[in-house]
Amino acid sequence: MRLLVDHHYAAAIGTHLRALGHDVALAAERGWQAKVDETLLEHSSAERRSLLTNNLADLAVIAVRWAALGR
């Protein structure tokens, strides 16, 4: 599984997932703590990763807008 983990999650989660064989990128390791959710989603999409985040309210709005745009 390819994941981009939002900075809200502890680095230990990424370490554990990597130990299980997953391809994990951490927003915090990349210095992306200040990136807005849509930018994180753009990065994850470009890298063909699923975005692991707990910010479902904002992501739901973005997903609806992207769907309307055919993204």
In whole angstroms, what is the distance from residue 51 CA to residue 40 CA? 8
Could you tell me which of 39, 32, 41 has the C-alpha nearest to residue 8?
Answer: 32
Q: What is the pLDDT of residues 11-57, one digit of tens each?
A: 999 999 999 999 999 999 999 999 999 999 999 999 999 999 999 89
* Contact present, 3 and 52 (Cβ < 8 Å): yes
Tell me the whole-structure pTM to 2 decimals: 0.87
